[in-house]
Structure 1
Amino acid sequence: MGKYVLHRILQLIPILLFISIVSFALIRLAPGDPVLSFVTPNMSPEDVERIRQNMGLDQPLYIQYGLWLKNVLAGNFGYSLNNHRPVLTLIVERLPATIGLMGSAFLLSLLVAVVLGLISAVYKNKLADRVLSLLSYIGISLPGLWFALILIYVFTVQLHWLPSMGMRTIGVHSAWDVIKHGIMPCLVLCITHVSVFMRYIRSSTISQLEEDYVQIQYAYGSTRRTVLFRHILRNVLLPVITLFGLSFAEIITGAFIVESIFSWPGMGSLGINAVFGLDYPLIMGMTMMSSFLLIFGNLLADVLYGLADPRIKTMR
């Protein structure tokens, strides 16, 4: 497994290099000119051109990319054009908030989906299964933006139970305050993934319940709970781990939208501000960090696959 992980890590290098080339070209070719943010009515064309030179935007595209890549390899992601601070510092400051939100959403999605999926499979075609199936279809169909606005209207505007903006209340430094601020963003990220995970777990559990080893365990006197959680659950988790890697991208992109709606101080709101402000260095830094997180998510899914099924480690 160690050699496999090392091999996969080495594969990250050409992938990230390719992503950086495409992203750099697309960002530079996009409409807009960041120099205009620094231009005043009293500036002469010479002053504007001097600003462009200071920002390095007067060089050909391949030279700009070469200089950027050289700085990145030296650990320098450049300075934000709007915040006038190192890009890496800005990302590191915002990364814990995004990871905390994403991690909470993942854990909650998996825990809830496993329980509901097993219940739905055990009570196949009965009332509990039909209710859970209906709820899962509704969850899959819910638009995230609409659901976020509904939560804000109900729990903030009408009931005054939960705050709708930020990560902390000014002057309050308790953990419960952070949890209250994160409940609605976490629910928006969870709702679709719980529904999808639950459907896969239900389908996989139903097929496992028909296997011979389940009947053998019942013949040995094992209870339903023992069979479900000790024998079936491991086999059921394999497709869920695959979904985990595939849905990592959706969680990250969804976090960008959710963070903007709830003013969550993470990478999402930072990235949105960078795009609107044409902050090229910050956009590139955000793109590379997001790409790394996506690739790391798939690598983590492969490692978890090997831990869940030792036969996979043997083949590798």
Structure 2
Amino acid sequence: MKKVIAKRLLNAIPLLFMISIIAFLLIKMAPGDPVRSFVTPDMNPDDVERIRKSLGLDKPVHIQYFLWLQNILTGNFGYSIVSKRPVLEMIVERLPATMGLMGASLIVSLILAIPIGLYTAVKKNSLFDKFANFLSYIGISIPIFWFALMLIYLFSLKWNLLPSMGMRTVGVSSTWDVMKHGILPCSVLAFQNISVYMRYIRSSTIRQLDEDYVQIQYAYGATRDRILFHHVLRNVLLPIITIIGLSIPSLVGGAFITETVFSWPGLGLLGVTSIFSFDYPVIMAITLFSSIMLVIGNLVADILYSVVDPRIRLRG
């Protein structure tokens, strides 16, 4: 297993390298000029050129990229053009908020999707199954930002039950206050994941219930719940692990939208703010960190494969 992990990490190096090249070129081709953040109406052209030279923007694009890559490999992510703070410090400061929101939404998704998917498979074509499928179609279809705005309108503006923005109330530092602020953004991310996971669990469970080992367990007198949670669930988890690994990119992208709508102080909000202000060092660093999160997520999915299915571990 250690060899497999080491191999996957080595394969991730050229992948991250290509991502960094594409992201750097896209940023350079985007309209806008980061120097305009420093320009004032009474500044003469010579001063503007000196600022451009100090930022290294007067060099060819490939030279700029390799200078940036050299700094990254030494742990220097540069300084934000707008806030003048170290980029790494800004990312480390906001990373826990994003990881907490994504982790909470993923846990909630699995806790709800697994029993609902199993029960709808057992009660196939029942009223509950049809209602759950209807909700899953809605969850897959509706845009994340629209659903977020609807939750803000209902729970914050109309019913005044939950806060609509931020991570903390000013002057309050309790854990419950953070949880209360995270309910709406977590619900937005979890609803779409629950819809996807539930449908895969339902279809996989229906296939497993037709297998011979299920009928043998019934013949031995095993109860339905024991068969579902001790035998069927273990085989159902394998495709779910694959879906989780594939859904991590959409989870990261959804976190960017959700954090922006709810003003959640994570990497997503920082990234969107940096894009509008042409803060190139921050944009590149967030792109790189997001790519690393995706690679780690897929690696964790591979490790979970061997945990759930011993046959994979033995072949490894």
State TM-score, norm by structure 2: 0.98
Query: How many Å apart are 1:138 and its aligned residue?
Result: 1.8
The corresponding residue for 1:149 is: 149
The corresponding residue for 2:260 is: 260
The corresponding residue for 2:61 is: 61
Which moves more between the two structures, 52-61 or 141-150?
141-150
Cα deviation per residue 1:272-315 (whole Å; 9 max; x = unaligned)? 01100101110100000001111111111111111111111222
2: CA distance, partners of 1:129 / 1:299: 34
The corresponding residue for 2:130 is: 130
The corresponding residue for 1:251 is: 251
The aligned runs of 1:153-192 (5 Å cut-off) are 153-192=153-192
The corresponding residue for 2:21 is: 21
Which AA in structure 1 matches 2:219?
A
1: CA distance, partners of 2:125 / 2:43: 73
The corresponding residue for 2:89 is: 89
1: CA distance, partners of 2:26 / 2:131: 46
Which AA in structure 1 matches 2:101?
L
Cα deviation per residue 1:67-87 (whole Å; 9 max; x = unaligned)? 111111111010000010111
Determine helix, strand or coil for the equivalent of 2:167: coil
The corresponding residue for 2:212 is: 212
The corresponding residue for 1:41 is: 41
Query: How many Å apart are 1:190 and its aligned residue?
Result: 1.0
1: CA distance, partners of 2:201 / 2:104: 20
Which AA in structure 1 matches 2:183?
I
1: CA distance, partners of 2:29 / 2:202: 47
Query: How many Å apart are 1:112 and its aligned residue?
Result: 0.6
2: CA distance, partners of 1:134 / 1:246: 23
Query: How many Å apart are 1:22 and its aligned residue?
Result: 1.3
1: CA distance, partners of 2:60 / 2:222: 71
1: CA distance, partners of 2:131 / 2:34: 53
1: CA distance, partners of 2:165 / 2:131: 33
2: CA distance, partners of 1:7 / 1:314: 17
2: CA distance, partners of 1:204 / 1:57: 54
Query: How many Å apart are 1:220 and its aligned residue?
Result: 1.2
1: CA distance, partners of 2:145 / 2:23: 26
The corresponding residue for 1:52 is: 52
Structure 2 residue runs of 5 or longer lacking an equivalent are none
After the TM superposition, list the runs of 4 or more consecutive aligned residues in structure 1 that deviate by more than 3 angstroms: none
2: CA distance, partners of 1:213 / 1:54: 70
The corresponding residue for 1:9 is: 9
1: CA distance, partners of 2:114 / 2:122: 12
The corresponding residue for 1:200 is: 200
1: CA distance, partners of 2:96 / 2:54: 33
Which AA in structure 1 matches 2:189?
L
Structure 1 residue runs of 5 or longer lacking an equivalent are none
2: CA distance, partners of 1:9 / 1:91: 22
2: CA distance, partners of 1:42 / 1:194: 56
Query: How many Å apart are 1:58 and its aligned residue?
Result: 0.5
Cα deviation per residue 1:166-216 (whole Å; 9 max; x = unaligned)? 000011111111111000001110111101110110010011011110111
Which moves more between the two structures, 136-145 or 118-127?
136-145
2: CA distance, partners of 1:266 / 1:289: 13
The aligned runs of 1:270-309 (5 Å cut-off) are 270-309=270-309
Give RMSD over aligned pairs.
0.8
The corresponding residue for 2:111 is: 111
Length, aligned pairs only: 316
Which AA in structure 2 matches 1:168?
R
Cα deviation per residue 1:121-172 (whole Å; 9 max; x = unaligned)? 0111112211211221122222211111111111111111100010000111
Determine helix, strand or coil for the equivalent of 2:265: coil
Query: How many Å apart are 1:44 and its aligned residue?
Result: 1.1
The corresponding residue for 2:240 is: 240
Query: How many Å apart are 1:28 and its aligned residue?
Result: 1.3
